[in-house]
Structure 1
Amino acid sequence: MSIHKSYAVFGLGRYGRAVARELIDNGAEVIAVDSNSKIVEDLVGEFPICKCADITDYEVIKQLGISNVDTVVIAIASDFESGVMATMLCKEAGVGQVIVKCSSEIHRTILEKVGADIVVFPENDSGIRLAKNILSSGFIDIADISEDISIIEISARGEWIGKSLAELELRKKHSINVVAINQQGNTEIDIRPDTVIEEDMKMIVIASKKEIDKLK
C-alpha cells in the first residue's frame, strides 16, 4: 500500500506503539514521540523517526514539524491534562486531524470541545484497528456485528456527491444499507430515498467486510 500522508503518534505505550507500527508497516511516514527517554531509547531502532519531547510545549511542537503532518494520534490517556494541552497545540499548529485516546465520557466531551476530531477508548479500539481506520481513507470502523458484517462510517465519495440515495442504489449495487447520515455534527436516522449526498456528509452503514474492502 502506498501512503502519501504523514502522521505523528504522541505517547509510545502499548497502544501508541501498535498504532505507529501499523502505520509504518503500511509505508506511512510517522513521527513517534514520547516524553520518557528510556522508552524512546528502546524504540529508536524500530521507528525511523523517534523523539523524546514535551508535547505540551508549543515551541517543541513547531520544532518537531507537527504542523506539516496530516494526522496526529495522541495516545496518553493516563495523563489527561497533557492530552488536552497537546490537542489544543496541534489544532493551533494547523493539524487537519487529531485523534485522541481517552478513558471516560467526561474526558471525551472535554477533548471534543478543545478540538479533538476523533476520540477513542482503548478498551474498545485496539491500536492496530485504529491505524487501519486511519489508513482506510474516509472509513471509520464502528463495530463488528459478526465475523463478516460491520457497521462503519463512510465519508461521501466524489462520485456520490450530488446524487440521491435512490440514484446511487447502494443496497442493490454494493449490498450497503445506510442506517444514518451525519452532517456537521447532526445525525439523521430518518433516511429518505430522495436524500441527496453532499460533500460534508458521512454515512453510517451496515455492510459485509468484503463489500467494504471493495470500496477502499
Structure 2
Amino acid sequence: MKKQFAVIGLGRFGGSICKSLVEEGMEVLAIDENEEKVNEFASLATQAVIADTTDEKALRGLGIRNFDHVIVAIGDNIQASILTTLMLVEMNVKHITVKAQNDYHEKVLNRLGADEIVHPERDIGIRIAHSVVSKNVLDYLELSDEYSIVELGAGTTLHGETIVGLDLRAKYGCNILAVKRGDNIHVSPRPEEKIANGDILIVIGADDDINRLENQWIDEP
C-alpha cells in the first residue's frame, strides 16, 4: 500500500521533495498559499491545493491527520512554520518533518514535538566546506553532532592494500561500509578485498577520527 505524504510549502526545498516522492510512486498532497506554485504542481502531485496552514480549520479540512507523513517545508516565515507544526502535533499527525531556518527555530520545533528536523542549507554548506578543505572528500553525510559518513577517494598510497591490512577500526576508530569501483558497489567488503587507485571508500566514524584519517593517511587520488 502506498504511503500518503503531505508537503507544505512548495519552494525549492519542498518542491524538490514533492517531485522525488512522486517519482518514488508515493501519493502526495502538495500545499502552498501561492496559487502559482500550486498550479505548477497540479499535474505532478496526486493533489495540489491552495491553503493557509496556519488556519486550523483549513488544515483540518484537508484531512491532514490521515496522512502517514507531513513535511513542513515553509520558507522564510518562521512563525508560519511554528504555528503549522504546533497544529500538526496537536492533531496527532503520525510523523512530522520540519525544515528549520536556524538553531533557535530548531529548539522551538523540538519542544513542540516535531519528529524530525532538517537544515538543508546548513547541511549543504557543511558538504561544500568538507569538499573544499579536503580533495579526498567526495561527499559527506552528517549522522549526528559527532558522527558522519564520508566518501573518500583512495589514492596511490592505498593501491594493493587489503581491508584487513588497513585495520581502520584499530588505527582510526573508523569502519569501511562499502567500496565503490566504477559502477559497482561492494557492500561490507571482505577482509581480503584489495583497494585500487581510484576506488571510493564509504567510511563511517566520529568526525575527529575521520579528520585524522583524511589528514594523515589518504593521499590525493
TM-score, normalised via structure 2 length: 0.58
Shift of 1:121: 0.6
Task: Name the SS of the counterpart of 2:92 in structure 1.
Answer: coil
Deviation of 1:39 (Å): 1.2
Aligned to 1:120: 118
Q: CA deviation at 1:122?
A: 1.5
Provide the rounded CA distance (Å) in 1 between the counterparts of 2:187 and 2:85.
34
**What is the aligned partner in structure 1 of residue 82 from structure 2?**
84
Q: CA–CA distance in 2 between the matches of 1:144 and 1:36?
A: 37
- In 1, the alpha carbon distance for the partners of 2:176 and 2:54 equals 39
Distance 1:144 1:41 in 2: 38
Deviations 1:28-72 (A, max 9, x none): 111110011121122212223101001011111111111100111
**For each residue in 1:137-190, what CA deviation from the matched residue of structure 2 results, as whole angstroms up to 9, or x when unmatched?**
xxx973431159xxxxxxxxxxxxxxxxxxxxxxxxxxxx9xxxxxxxxxxxxx
| Conserved 8 A contact 2:6-2:28 | yes
Output aligned runs, 1:79-158, within 5 Å.
79-125=77-123, 142=143, 143-146=148-151
- Partner of residue 25, structure 2: 27
* 1:61-116, Cα deviation, whole Å (9 max, x unpaired): 11111110011110114110000011011111121111110121111001111121
8 A contact 2:72–2:97 mirrored in 1: yes
**For the residues of structure 1 that align with 2:119 and 2:186, how far apart are their CA atoms?**
26
Q: CA RMSD in A?
A: 2.5
Structure with max Cα Rg: 2
- Alpha-carbon spacing, 1:41–1:93, altered in 2? closer, same or farther (3 Å): same
Q: Which residue of 1 aligns with 2:39?
A: 41
Partner letter of residue 48 of structure 2? C
2:63 counterpart residue number: 65
Output the amino acid matched with 1:57. D
CA 45–88 in structure 1, closer or farther in 2 if over 3 Å, else same: same
2:177 maps to: 207
What SS does structure 2 have at the residue aligned with 1:54?
coil
Instruction: State the identity %.
Output: 30
Please say if residues 13 and 73 of structure 2, whose CA atoms lie closer than 8 Å, have aligned partners that are also in contact.
yes
Match of 1:50, SS state, is strand
Give the partner amino acid of 2:17. V
Q: Distance in 2 between matches of 1:75 and 1:36?
A: 14
Task: Tell me the equivalent position of 1:74.
Answer: 72
What is the rounded CA distance, in whole Å, between the counterparts of 2:90 and 2:176 in structure 1? 36
CA distance in 2, matches of 1:211, 1:124: 29
Give 2:10's aligned amino acid: L
- Structure-2 change in CA distance of 1:12 and 1:125 (3 Å): farther
Partner SS, residue 146 of structure 1: strand
Query: 1:186 matched to which residue of 2?
Result: none
AA of the residue aligned to 2:4: S
Partner of 1:187: none
For residue 156 of structure 1, what is the aligned residue in structure 2? none
The number of aligned residues is: 142
Q: For 1:147 and 1:98, locate their aligned partners in 2 and report how far apart those are by CA, in whole Å.
A: 33
**Partner Cα separation in structure 1 for residue 117 and residue 176 of structure 2:** 22
